Amino acid sequence: MIRPLGCIAMTLALLSAFPNSAHAVKIERIVTAAGIEVWHVRDQTLPMISVEFAFTGGASQDPADKPGVANLVAALFDEGAGELDARAFRERLEERAVVLNFTSYRDTLRGSLKTLVEHREQAFDLLRLALGAPRFDGSEIDRMKAAVLAGLRRRLTSPGDVAGDRWFARAFPGHPYGRPLQGTLDSVPRITADDLRSFHRRTIARSNLKIATVGAIEAKDLAALIDRVFGALPAQANLAAVPDVAPQGMGEREVIELDLPQTIISFGGPGLKRADPDFIPAYVLNHILGGGSFSSRLYKEVREKRGLAYSVYSYLAPLKHAGLFLGGVSTRNDRAEETLAIIIEEIRRIASEGSTPEEIADAKGYLIGSYALRFDTSGKIAGQLLEIQLEHLGIDYIDRRNALIEAVSADDVRRAAARFLADGRVLVTMVGRPKMAAPPPRGG
C-alpha cells in the first residue's frame, strides 16, 4: 500500500531530529574508490541517512536568451528517469518513503535525499537514475513549463518578488545574475528538450560536485553507494565562464506602481565575498544594523520608535562572483519615503560612527549562542557541511567558527563598515504607490 507523501514527509521530519550540538559533530572525510570526496557525520541514533549535494554552475549557466533552463532541469530530475516514467518514479519514492528534492540557485544546482537505512539501496538507485538518466519526456516538460509559467504570472502580482527580481535586473545588467532564476514568460516556452539535455551534459559532473551526508551508515558502505550514484557521471563539467561583478546603480531609485496599500522596498549594494578576511566582522556589523530580528538598529528606529513597519531587515549575500549587502521593508505608501530615509541614515551613521561595545558584545553573544541551532537535525547538519565545502572554509570550520566571531573587535567592525557602507548609497526598488515628496535624489 502506498502511503501519502504528507505522511511520509512527517515521518522523516520526526526521524531527522538530531540532538547533537555543533561541538559534538565529528566529520569524517571520505574519498571513494572513484575519487569522490564526501564529508560524513556518522550517527547511529536514528535509522536514517540524509544526503545534501551540489553541482556548481546553477542558473548562471543558463543561455543568455533562455533564462530558466536550470530551474526546469531541477524540476524534471524526479519526473521520470531511466525506464521509469514520472508516475512510476514517484511510486517508487513513495513505496520506500524516500524524499528527493532538487533546486537551482544562481551558482549551484542542489539536491537532497532522505531515506530510512533499510531502504538505502533503492533510494540511492533512484537518485542514480535521476541524475544519470533523466528522461526529459515531452509531456512532463510541457507540464512543468505550465507550472513554471503559472508561478511566473503569480510573481507579477507579488510585490516582494517584483521588487527582488527588478533589483537584480538593475544591479547586474548583461550579467547572469541579472536574469530571473525561474525564467520569463517569453523564455520558458522556448526552452526545448535539447536545451535541458545540453545543460545536463555541461553541468552534472564529478569535477564540480560537493557532497555531505549524515546518518547511520559506515564509511565503507557509504562510499560504495556514493560511487554507485555519482561514479558514472562525466569526470569534467564544461561550465561557461562567469565574470566577477559589482552591483550597479548605487544611489538610484526606481518606483514600480502597483495598486497596493503598502510599498515594498528592496535595497542593497556591494558587500563582501565569503572568503574575504573582513567577512566575519561584516557579519557582526550587519547583525547590529539589520540582522538581529528584535535588536537591530533598523528594527529599533523603524518599528519600535516610529511604528513604520512590522519588520525591517538586512543581510549579507556572498555569491560566488559578487558580494552583496541586501535588505527590505514593507510600509504604508504615505510613509515610504520617510522609512527609506531612516534606513539610509542608519546605514550612514553606523559607517561613520561605528558600533558601541555593548552592541558588539550582544551581537557576538547571539551569533555564537545561536550557532548550535543550525545543527539540530540531520538535514541541517548535512546542509551546513555542504555550505562549508562550497565556501572552501575547511573541514575544521565548525570548531573554529565561534572563536572567529569572538575575536571581532570594534576596529574590525569599523574597518568592515568602511569597505562597503561608507557612503551610504544603495540601489532601491519600490513597489506600490509610494507618495514621494519630491523627485528622488540620485545620491540617496
* Residue 22: band (very low, low, confident or very high) from pLDDT cuts 50, 70, 90: low
Residue 438: predicted pLDDT: 52
**CB neighbour class for 148 (10 Å; exposed up to 12, middle 13-18, buried from 19):** buried
Residue 293: predicted pLDDT: 77
Give the up-direction half-sphere exposure of residue 67: CA atoms within 13 A in the CB hemisphere: 20
Q: Reply yes or no on whether the pLDDT at 268 is more than 60.
A: yes
Q: What is the mean pLDDT of the chain?
A: 93
Residue 423: predicted pLDDT: 85
The residue among 214, 211, 217, 219 whose CA lies nearest residue 379 is 214
Domains by residue range for the chain, with CATH: 5-230 (3.30.830.10), 253-432 (3.30.830.10)
Q: Reply yes or no on whether the pLDDT at 13 is more than 60.
A: no
Over residues 168-192, the mean pLDDT reads 98
Say if CB 253 and CB 440 are below 8 A apart.
yes
Say if CB 115 and CB 123 are below 8 A apart.
yes
Distances (CA, A) of 179 to 237, 252, 254, 317: 22, 20, 18, 17
Interval 135-158: pLDDT, tens: 999 999 999 999 999 999 999 999
Q: Reply yes or no on whether the pLDDT at 316 is more than 90.
A: yes
Over residues 236-247, the mean pLDDT reads 98
C-alpha cell at 364: 557576538
Interval 199-236: pLDDT, tens: 999 999 999 999 999 999 999 999 999 999 999 999 99
Interval 91-111: pLDDT, tens: 999 999 999 999 999 999 999
Interval 328-382: pLDDT, tens: 999 999 999 999 999 999 999 999 999 999 999 999 999 999 999 999 999 999 9
Over residues 388-401, the mean pLDDT reads 97
- What torsion do the CA atoms of 296, 297, 299, 304 make, to the nearest 10 degrees? 120
C-alpha cell at 168: 537584480
Over residues 252-257, the mean pLDDT reads 96
* Residue 282: band (very low, low, confident or very high) from pLDDT cuts 50, 70, 90: very high
Residue 292: predicted pLDDT: 80
Distances (CA, A) of 9 to 5, 60, 294, 336: 6, 31, 32, 41
Over residues 32-55, the mean pLDDT reads 96
| Range with the poorest average pLDDT among 258-267, 279-288, 289-298, 356-365 | 289-298
* Residue 437: band (very low, low, confident or very high) from pLDDT cuts 50, 70, 90: low
Over residues 392-415, the mean pLDDT reads 97
